[in-house]
Chain A
C-alpha cells in the first residue's frame, strides 16, 4: 500500500515541480533568532517585560499563514519573509483584510523604518514600524483583484534602522515579529470545511501547533494504525506544515484542528458511535466546533481505502499538493552532487542593499548519505558589487550552520565588481540534511564611526548581491552513515525511499502511539513523500530498519499504560537497555573536578600585570597547544558536550544498529509515555527540528533544552555508489577523520616499498668498486 501511495504522491509532486515559479520575492529564511514563544528575543534591548500575548485561539474567520511560528521574526536592516495562506474561490471573491499583528525592538528607529507588504507579487501597502511597546495590529485591505483562489503569497519586507548606533553589531538588535495567532487574512465570510483545500486554512492551537487527532477505537491494534498511516501521511504532506502535532484518542479533539478517521468496514463497529456512519472515500466536513474539521477515509478493506485515497490525491488534492510543494521549496536548495545552482534557485532576487550588514540566508539540503570531509569544497562564485567609500574592514563572510567558514576582504576602497569571484566553502562545515547558509557582507563606511544623525544616509546603497551568484557543488563522497540525527531530521534518513521499515511501539498506550504518529508525519514532511512505514506493537524485527518508540518500565505511568489493551510483554528482556544510549556519551562525560579546579584557579588568579613573563609565555603556550589540539581533533568551534542518558532527560533520540547488525534502529526513548509525548512535541517544534544534529539528541526535562551529542563512532549502513571516484572520496574523507591510520598506512606501505628499493637499487646499474 505504502509503495503505491508513495509512487502516486511522488508523481504528483514531480508534476508540481514543473510548474513555473510565480512572481518570486525575497527569501523568507533570513536569520532568525529562535525564541520559544513569539515575543521572546535575544536582543539586548528587549529587556522590558514581555506583554502577555493572548493565547486564546485566533479570531474566527482568520485564515492563518501556513508558515510556522519560527518564520515570523524578521531581523536586521533589510529582511524579507514569505508567507502563504489559502483561500477558496468564494473567500477570494469576497476580498478581505490582511491583519498583521507586529511589534519591534525598541532600537528600531520609527521615523525611517518601514514594513512593505506585497501580495501575490503586487505591492499591497507599507507602513512605519512603530510598535516597540507591544503587538500592534495593522490592517491592509485586500481587494479581490489582489487575491487568487488557492495559495496566496504575502511578501513582507522590513527595512529597519537603529535609533542611535551605526555599528555593525547594532544591526543584530533590529527585529520585528508578527504574532502568528493574530496574523493572517480576515475573510469577509466565515469559513467552513467542505473540501480538502479548506483544510489548508485550519488554524493553530494556542501552542501554535496544527492539531491532528487520530480517532481510534479503544482496542488499539497495529492493523488499525496501519490503515490510518497512509491517510495521516497524505494529510501531513497536503498541509505541508512543519508544526503538526498528532494525538491519538477515542474521542474527537476540541479547538482548531483536524479530527481524522480512517477505518475499514471490519473496524467500523469498533469505532466511536458517531463516526460509524461516515461514507466511503475521503470526506472533509465541519466538526461542529468552529475552526475544527473532520477528515475521514472509509473503505471496505485496506485495499479499498488505498484506492480511495489515491483517487483523492489524483483529483481534489492534486493542485494544492503541488502549490504546497512549491511554497516549501522557497529559500532552500535541494542539493545534488556535481551540480551548479544559482541563488535564484533558492528564491533570492537581486537587490541593492543600503545598510551596514547584508545578510542573505538560505538552506542547503545535502543528500542524506553525504560524508562531510576535506576532499573538496563547495565553490561560491560571487556575482556582486560594492560601492566606493567602504572602510578597509569591509568583508564578505559565509556562515554555515552558524559558524563562519570563510571570509573575503573587500580590499578596493574605490568599489569593486565581482564577476564570479570564487570563494570556497569547506565541505566539512556541512552535514547531511538541512544546512543553514548565510552570506554576510559587512559594509562599514567612515561615517558610521561618527554616526551623526544629520550625516546619516540610510538609503545609500553599499552592496548588491546578484541572484546569478553560483553555488557549485562538487562530487560528494556518499555513504550511509549512522547515527546522524541531522540526516534524519532533514531527509528522514534512513526511512525515506522505498525500503519498508517498522515503527515499533513497545508500549502501545495513547501517548506513545501519538508520539509515533507525530514523528511519522514530521518525517514524511521532511522526506517530502509518504514513508513506507509499518506499525508494530511490540519489539522491532532486527532485520528491518525501525523507529523504536520506547519508554522505561520504572515509572508511575506504567500502571496507566497497563490499562490499554495492547501492552508489550513486560517480562521479556528489554532489547534496548537505556544504558546503551548513555554509553555513546560516556567518553565525553564532563569531569567535575576539572571544573572545580578551573573555578579555584579563577578565584585565586593573580592580576595580569603581576605575573612574570615566563608564566605568561607558559600560559600562552598552553593555550596555543590546547587550540592546536582541538584543531587536530576538528573541534575548533564546538562547545563541550554533556553526556546523554541522564535521568533528567525527557526524551532521547538515538540511532544504533539492530542487534543482528542487519538494520538500523532509530530509538526514541523516554522515562514515561507522558514524557515521551512532551518530548516529541518539543522535538518536532520547527525551531528545534531544523537544528537537530549529532549522533543523538536529548531534551532536558526541566528546561526543555536540546542537547546534541556528536556520534562517538558511526557505522556504515550502505554504499549505493561503488564507483572508484566515490570510493576515493570516501577514503579521503575517512582517512581525514582517522588520520592516524592514514599516516601509519603510508609510512608502512611506502616504508616497505623504500626498503625494497633500497635492496634492489644497489643490485641494479653500476656498482661501487670495493676497495
Chain B
C-alpha cells in the first residue's frame, strides 16, 4: 500500500504545484471542499479525519502556490513590493502554522488512567508549591487542597517554596522590602506548621521559578515531583489520576494535566462570556496538548504536573535559561529521550489574571519565553528529538510570532485604501477562486477541529488584543534573546470600578484609524468609477479588521469584578446545625469565602442582619468535618430557601474543610467545562461578533468619556485567617479594597 500511496501523494503534489487556469482552480477547490466536507461527516473515524485534513491542505497549498507565484508585486516597485512582501511573509507564516497545526491535531490522544497499583509499591511524591508574593489565604487553600490529595500520607510530602521570604529579601537594604519579607516569612512558616507542610525559603532569588524548584529538588527526595502554582488547588484525585502512568513507562518524565480556572480572564469578564463560552486555554488543553501527546511532545506547563525526579536529575533539574522554564525543561528532557503524557482531565483549579494589564504581562512572558527557546534552543534542530517532536516544538514556539502576522493583516489594507499601494495583485475572479475558497476551508476547518472549544472569530480577537503589546515584546526578545526576566503574573487582583484599562490608548488609536479607513474606502467606492474590484476586497477586509478592533475595545473597557472569591458549583450533600435544629441541605456552591446552601427539608429562621451562626457538617469516610458559618443573605426561590453563609472564621481546620468541600470531586470541574463546550456555527458566531463590535466599542467610548456611574454598596469582608489565635492580616502589596462595590446602575450621558 505504501508503495502505491507515496508515489500517488508525490504525483498529487506535483499536480497541485502546477500553474493552472482559474477555471481549473475553481473546480479543484469545489471538489476539494466537497471531499473535505464529506470527511467531516464522521469525526470519530481517523481515516475520515485525515482525509479532511489532507483536502484542506490541498486548498491551502494551492493558495500558497498562487500567492507565491502570481500575487507578489513587482520587485522593481519597492514601494509596493516591500509591504507586499511583508504581508506575504505573514501569510506564509500562517500557512506554515496551519500545516503544523494539522500535523499536531491529526489524531489527538485520549488517555485512560491506569491503576495506581499496590499501596506499598507507590512511589514517594514531593509536592512543590513555589510562591513569590501570593498571600497566605490563597496559599492556605492550595496547601490544604494539596494536603487533602488521596495518597498514602507517608509517601506524600508538601513543600511551600517561598521566594518572597528568601534570605536575600529579608536582609534587603530597603527596609520596606525587608520588613515585609520578614513578616511574610514568619506568617507562612506559621501557616505551614499549622497545615503540616514544609516551609522553605532559599538564600537568594536566582533563576526565578526554575531556581526555586531546583532548590526544592535539593531539599527533598521523593521519586516523583508535583508542581502546583500557588493558586492552583488540586482535586483529591489528582495523584490517583496521574501517578499510575509512571509505573507503566519507565522513561516517562512528565504527566501534565490541564489548567482549569475559576475566574474569567479580562476578555471573558469584559465581554461577559465566562459562563457560556469555552475559555481561551481550552483549545490548547483539550485539543492541542492531546495532539502533541500523540507525538510524545506534550510539554510541561509549569504547574499541575507530575515529574520524575530521576529524569530531572539527568538535566540538572529544571532549566532556567528562558523565562518559560516549563517548556524549556520539557524540551531538554524530550531531547534526552524521555517521554511525556498528557491527561485531559481538569485536576486543579486556579486563578488567571483578571485585569488587562496582568493578562498582557502574562502573555508577554509566555511570548518572550517561547521565542527565547526558539532562538536559543532551536528546537527544530535540537539533537535527540524525533521529527514529529521537532515539528511540534517548532510549532509551539513559532506560534508566538502571531502578533506580527496579526498586525500585518490589520494594517496592510490601509496601505491600499489610503495610498493605493498594490501589495496584493489579484482581480476579483482570482480572489474568488483562490482566496475565498481558502477562507471557506479555513473557517470550516477551524470549526471542525476546534469548534467545540472556540467560537468563531474569538481566536482572531485574542490574537489582536495581545498583538498590540506583544509586538514590542517580540522585537525586544529578538534584539536580545537573553534579556527578558521572569515577572510573576499578578493574579487575584480585582477591580472595584469599571474603567478603561491603562493600556487602552493604542487600541483606540487603531480603532479610529481603521474607522477612518472604512469611511474613506466607502467614499472611494462611491466616487471612483474605476476603483473596482480590488478596492472592494480591501474595503471588506478592513471592515473585518474594524470589527475586531471594535470588539477588542470591549476587552480593554474593564468591568468591575464584585466577586473576590470564585465560586464552584459543588452541589454537595451536607447537614447544617442552626441552633438546636438540624437540616439536610445541598451546598450549591462554595468559594474560599463562603457557601450557598439550599434547604431541602424546611428552612430555619435565618436573620442575615443578626448574623445567625450555624455549623456545617460534611462527611467523608465516616468522619465528620465541621465548620462554622454566618448567615449573610437568604432568598426564596420556587418554594426552596437558598441562604448565603460566610465562614465564621478561617482556621487551618476550616481551610481543610473548604478544600474538602471544593476539591473533593473532579467532576465538578469537568462538568463546568463540558457545559460550555457547545459548537457555534459560523453565522451565529459572526453575528454575535458583529454585535460585540458595535456594542463594545460604544461601551469603551462611553468609559473613555467618563460616563460610568456605579453605585457602591457595603459588603462583608471575608473572615480573616486565624493561625494559633494570631490573625494574619493581608500583606501591604495587595490592593486594599476600601469599599467593595455592589451592582449599580450605569447612567448614560
Interface residues of A (CB under 8 A from B): 373-376, 381, 392-393, 395, 409, 411, 419-422, 428, 631-632, 634, 728-729, 731-732, 735-737, 739-740, 742-743, 745-762, 765-771
Q: How far is the CA of A574 from the CA of B27 in the complex (A)?
A: 45
B487 adjacent to chain A (CB < 8 Å): no
Are B20's CB and A732's CB within 8 A?
yes
CA distance A282 to B58 in the complex (A): 68
The answer to whether B31 touches A411, judged by C-beta atoms less than 8 angstroms apart, is no
Question: Which of A409, A729, A749 is the one whose CB lies under 8 Å from B9?
Answer: A749
In the complex, what distance in Å separates the CA atom of A393 from the CA atom of B48?
A: 52
| Chain A neighbourhood of B20, CB < 8 A | 374-375, 732, 735-736, 739, 742
Q: What are some 25 contacts across the A-B interface (CB < 8 A)? A: A374-B21, A374-B24, A375-B18, A392-B528, A409-B530, A420-B74, A422-B74, A422-B77, A428-B21, A731-B15, A732-B19, A735-B15, A739-B21, A742-B20, A746-B12, A749-B15, A751-B51, A753-B6, A753-B8, A755-B50, A756-B4, A757-B50, A762-B46, A765-B296, A770-B112
Known contacts A752-B5, A761-B46; decide if A743 and B24 are in contact (CB<8 Å). yes
B554 → chain A closest CB, angstroms:
38
Q: How far is the CB of B280 from chain A (nearest CB, A)?
A: 25
Chain A residue at smallest Cβ distance from B4: A752
Closest A residue by C-beta to B388: A765
Inter-chain contact B16/A746, CB cutoff 8 Å: yes
- A765 near B27 with CB under 8 A, answer no
Would you call A731 and B18 a contact (CB within 8 A)? yes
For B296, list chain A residues within 8 Å (CB). Answer: 765-766
Q: A732-B18, A743-B27, A766-B109 are in contact. Are A755 and B12 (CB under 8 A)?
A: no
Q: Is the CB of B28 within 8 A of A750?
A: no
Does B54 sit at the interface, judged by CB under 8 A? Answer: yes
Binary contact readout B18-50 vs A (1 if CB under 8 angstroms, 0 otherwise): 111111101110011001000000000011111
Q: Given A409-B530, A736-B21, A766-B109, A743 and B294 touching (CB < 8 A)? A: no
Highest count of chain B CB atoms <10 Å: which of A421, A422, A736, A753: A753
B423 to chain A, nearest CB (A): 14
A729 to B26, CA, bound (A): 19
Contacts of A392 in B (CB 8 A): 528-530
Interface membership of B589, Cβ < 8 A: no
For chain B, the bracket of interface size reads 35 or more
Q: Is the CB of B32 within 8 A of A753?
A: no
Contacts of B532 in A (CB 8 A): 409
CA distance A392 to B53 in the complex (A): 47
* B30 to A: closest C-beta gap in Å: 8
Known: A411-B528, A422-B77, A750-B9. 10 other contacts (CB 8 A): A634-B21, A736-B21, A742-B28, A746-B58, A749-B9, A752-B5, A753-B8, A753-B9, A756-B6, A766-B341
Q: What is the minimal beta-carbon distance from A369 to any residue of chain B, in angstroms?
A: 19
| Interface pair A757/B19, CB less than 8 Å apart | no
- With both chains docked as a complex, state the minimum distance between the C-beta of B443 and any C-beta of chain A, in angstroms: 21
Assess the A749–B12 pair: CB atoms within 8 A: yes
Q: B375 at the A/B interface (Cβ < 8 Å)?
A: no
Q: Which of B5, B14, B16, B22 has the most CB of A within 10 A?
A: B5
**Distance, CA A140 to CA B11, complexed state (A):** 70
Identity of the chain B residue whose Cβ is nearest the Cβ of A729 in the assembled complex:
B19
B60 interface contact, C-beta 8 A: no
CA distance A752 to B35 in the complex (A): 12
Structural contact, B110 and A768, CB atoms closer than 8 A? yes
Name A407's closest neighbour in chain B (CB-CB). B530
Q: Out of B9, B106, B528, which one reaches A761, CB within 8 Å? A: B106
A740 lies within 8 A of B27 (CB): yes
Contacts of A768 in B (CB 8 A): 107, 109-111
Contact of B12 among A376, A750, A767 (CB under 8 A): A750
Q: Are B15 and A393 in contact (CB under 8 A)?
A: no
Please name all residues of chain B whose beta carbon is closer than 8 Å to the beta carbon of A419 when the two chains form the complex. Answer: 76
- Once A756-B1, A759-B1, A768-B111 are accepted as A-B contacts, the answer to whether A411 and B51 lie under 8 Å apart by CB is no
Which B residues, 74 to 111, have Cβ-Cβ distances below 8 Å to chain A? 74, 76-77, 106-107, 109-111
- For B530, what are the chain A residues with a Cβ–Cβ distance below 8 Å? 392-393, 395, 409, 411
Bound form: Cα–Cα A770–B112 in Å: 7
Interface residues of B in 214-272 (CB under 8 A from A): none
Which residues of the partner chain B approach A731 to less than 8 Å between Cβ atoms? 15, 18
State the Cβ distance, A427 to closest chain B Cβ, in Å. Answer: 10
Q: Closest chain B residue to A410 by CB distance?
A: B530
By the criterion CB–CB under 8 Å, are B15 and A745 in contact? yes
Asked whether, in the complex, the Cβ of B31 is within 8 Å of the Cβ of A747, the reply is yes
In the assembled complex, which residues on chain B have CB atoms less than 8 Å from the CB atom of A765? 107, 294-296, 388
A758 & B48 in contact (Cβ 8 Å cutoff): yes
Asked if B645 lies at the interface with its beta carbon under 8 angstroms from chain A, I say: no
Q: How far is the CA of A644 from the CA of B48 in the complex (A)?
A: 52
Q: Which B residues touch A376, using CB under 8 A?
A: 19
Using known A-B contacts A375-B19, A765-B388, determine if residue A736 contacts B24 with beta carbons closer than 8 Å: yes
Which of B18, B46, B110 is close to A728, meaning CB atoms less than 8 Å apart? B18
Cβ of A766: which chain B residues have Cβ within 8 Å of it? 109, 293-296, 341
Q: Which of A374, A422, A750, A771 contacts B22 (CB 8 A)?
A: A374
Query: Taking CB as reference atom, which chain A residue is nearest B294?
Result: A765
Does residue B55 face the partner (Cβ distance < 8 Å to A)? Answer: yes
CB distance from A608 to the nearest CB of B (A): 24
Selected contact of A762 from candidates B18, B19, B35, B107, CB within 8 Å: B107
Let me know if B2 is at the binding interface, CB within 8 A: yes
Once the chains bind, are B24 and A758 in contact (CB under 8 Å)? no
Residues of A within 8 A of B27 (CB): 632, 739-740, 742-743
B63 CB, min distance to chain A CBs, angstroms: 15
Contact among B19, B35, B53 for A751, CB-based, below 8 A: B35
B420 at the interface (CB under 8 A from A): yes
* Contact flags B294-329 to A (C-beta < 8 A → 1, else 0): 111000000000000000000000000000000000
Q: Which residues of A contact B529 (CB under 8 A)?
A: 392-393
A632 to B30, CA, bound (A): 13
A758 contact set on B, CB distance < 8 A: 46-51
Chain B 554-589, CB-CB to A under 8 Å as 1, else 0, gives: 000000000000000000000000000000000000
Which B residues are in CB contact (< 8 Å) with A755? 5, 47, 50-51
Interface centre among A428, A746, A755 (most CB of B within 10 A): A746
Which of the listed residues A392, A411, A755, A757 has the most CB atoms from chain B within 10 Å of its own CB?
Answer: A757
Q: How far is the CB of B239 from chain A (nearest CB, A)?
A: 19
Question: Chain B nearest CB: distance from A741 CB in Å?
Answer: 10
A739 to B18, CA, bound (A): 12
Residue of B nearest to A412 (CB): B420
Q: Check B8–A752 contact: CB distance below 8 A.
A: yes
Are A749 and B11 neighbours in the complex by a CB distance under 8 Å? yes
List, in ascending order, chain B residues with CB within 8 A of A728's CB.
Answer: 14, 18
Q: Is the CB of B54 within 8 A of A739?
A: no
Interchain nearest-CB distance for B537 vs A (Å): 16
Beta-carbon contact of A374 and B19 below 8 Å: yes
Q: Enumerate chain A residues within 8 angstroms of B111, measured Cβ to Cβ.
A: 768-769
A767 CB contacts on chain B under 8 angstroms: 109
- In the complex the two chains form, is B112's CB within 8 Å of A743's CB? no
Measured CA separation A191–B35 after assembly (Å): 79
The smallest C-beta distance from A338 to any residue of chain B, in angstroms, reads 15
**Within the complex, what minimum Cβ distance (angstroms) separates A279 from chain B?**
62
B47, A759: Cβ atoms closer than 8 Å = yes
B14: chain A residues at CB < 8 Å are 728
Which of A428, A735, A753 has a CB less than 8 Å from the CB of B54?
A753
Bound-complex Cα distance A631 to B25 (A): 13
Q: Which residue of A lies closest to B57 (CB)?
A: A750
Inter-subunit contact A754/B54 (CB<8 Å): yes
Looking at A745, A765, A769, the one whose CB has the most chain B CB atoms below 10 A away is A765
A756 neighbours in B (Cβ, 8 Å): 1-2, 4-6, 9
Q: How far is the CA of A749 from the CA of B54 in the complex (A)?
A: 11
CB distance from B532 to the nearest CB of A (A): 7
- A746 with B15: CB separation less than 8 A: yes
Closest chain A CB from B250 CB (angstroms): 16
A contact residues around B77 at 8 Å (CB): 420-422
When distances are taken between beta carbons in the complex, the residues of chain A under 8 Å from B1 are 756, 759
The reply to whether A632 and B58 contact each other, CB–CB distance below 8 Å, is no
